[in-house]
Amino acid sequence: MNVKVAVASKEIRVLRNIHGREFLEIDHPAVQARISLEGAHIVSCVPAGEEPLLWMSPIDPEEPGKPLRGGVPICWPWFAGERPGPAHGIARTSQWVLTDTYSAPHLLRLLLELPEDTIRKQLPGEAWRLQAEFELGQSLSINLITTNLSDKPQVLSQALHSYLPVHSIHSTQLWGLEGASYVDQVTGVASNTQHGAVTFTGEVDRIYYDHRSPIQLEGAEDQRVIVARDGSQSVVVWNPWIDKSTRLSQFPDDGYLGMVCIEAANAGPDARILEPGETHTLSTEIKRI
Ligand code: BG6
C-alpha cells in the first residue's frame, strides 16, 4: 500500500510505501513514470499510447536498501567493482532530493540531486556535486551531471544501467557495435572485437570502449529501440543468462529471457579524471522508432 505524502506539482506526487521507500509518481499527458528517490532510480517510463520503455523485475523488494532490478540504476562514482565498496558505487542506495521541475505539453523535466553531505559521509576526503536530470516524453533522456568540488583531481567511473524489455532474448540483436573493441567480463579477456550484431546464446557482460555511436536494438514483433549516448565512449551490454539469473536477488529465474541492459558508461578504459571544478555530463536517450 502506498501513502501520498506530498504533491510536488500537478503532475508529480510523492508516494511512500509501507516500508518507507519513497517514489515520485508521474502522471503527465505525454508520459507516465515512477522514480525511486532512493537512487534517483527510474523504475517505469511509459510514453502516452506506447509500450513501456524500461524492463522492471516483477519481484519488488519494496524495502529501502534492497536493489531494485530493472529501470535505470545509477552506478556512481564507480562502475561495478572498479573501487572497493558496494558494487556500482553509493548513488543507487542513497536518498536523493527533487530540486526542480519543468512541464510542457510534450515533456516533463525533473532535476534530482544527491546532497553533498550524503556523499561526503560515504566517501570521506572526496567532494562532489551530483545531479540527475530526467526528460520524459515520447523518449527518455537522462543526464548525470558530476562536478568535482575538491581541490584535487578525482577519478570517476559510472553508468546509466538501462534495463530494456525484449520479446525474446533469443531473437534480440544489437546493431551499431560492429568492429568495436570490448572487455569481456565473463571470460576476463581484455581485448576482443565485435563481429556483426551482438546476439545472445549465453551470459553476456561486456564493456565496449572507444565507441560513441547509437546502438539499435532489434527484436521480434518489429521492435526497434535506439540507445544514444553523450559524454560516453564506453557502453556495457549485459544479460545474466540462466545460472546468474537464479543467483541474482529480486530477479526471476527466467528474467533473462525478457531483458537486456545497454548501459551508457564511463567504465573500464573510459573512466575519467575530473580536475578541480570540472563538470562532466553522462547522457543517454532511449526511444522507440
Ligand atoms: C552490469 C555488470 O552492469 O551489472 C554485471 O556488467 C553485473 O557484471 C550487473 O552483474 C548487475 O549488477 P548488480 O550489482 O546490480 O548485481
> Which tens digit of pLDDT belongs to each residue from 53-91?
999 999 988 889 888 999 999 999 999 999 999 999 999
Query: What are 219-249's pLDDT values in tens digits?
Result: 988 999 999 999 999 999 999 999 999 999 9
Question: What is the spatial distance between Cα 177 and Cα 195, in angstroms, rounded to a whole number?
Answer: 8
pLDDT above 70 covers a percentage of the chain that reads 99
Which has the closest alpha carbon to 232: 184, 190, 180?
A: 180
- Measured in degrees and rounded to the nearest 5, phi and psi for residue 120 equal -55, -45
Query: What are 118-170's pLDDT values in tens digits?
Result: 999 999 999 999 999 999 999 999 999 999 999 999 999 999 999 999 999 99
Gap from CA of 219 to ligand 1 centroid (Å): 23
Does 80 sit in the ligand 1 pocket, CB within 6 Å? yes
In the predicted structure, residue 186 carries a pLDDT above the cut 80: yes
- Measured in degrees and rounded to the nearest 5, phi and psi for residue 204 equal -125, 125
Closest C-alpha to ligand 1, atom 1 = 238
Does 39 sit in the ligand 1 pocket, CB within 6 Å? no
The grid coordinates listed for 16 are 511512500
Phi-psi domain of 106 (left: phi exceeds 0; alpha: psi -120 through 50; beta: other): alpha
Domain 2-288 of CATH type 2.70.98.10: yes
Q: What is the pLDDT of residue 141?
A: 98
Q: What is the pLDDT of residue 61?
A: 80
Our mutation pick for probing the ligand 1 site, out of 72, 92, 161, counting the most ligand atoms within 8 A of Cβ, is 161
Q: What 3-state class would DSSP assign to 277?
A: coil
Q: How confident is the model at residue 3 (pLDDT cuts 50, 70, 90)?
A: confident
Strands 31-36 and 41-47, sheet pairing: antiparallel
Which has the closest alpha carbon to 106: 31, 12, 217, 214?
A: 31
Query: Lowest-confidence range among 3-12, 19-28, 126-135, 178-187?
Result: 3-12
Which has the closest alpha carbon to 37: 77, 95, 93?
A: 95
Q: What is the pLDDT of residue 173?
A: 98
Q: What is the pLDDT of residue 1?
A: 57
Does 236 sit in the ligand 1 pocket, CB within 6 Å? yes
Q: Are 144 and 96 in contact (CB under 8 A)?
A: no
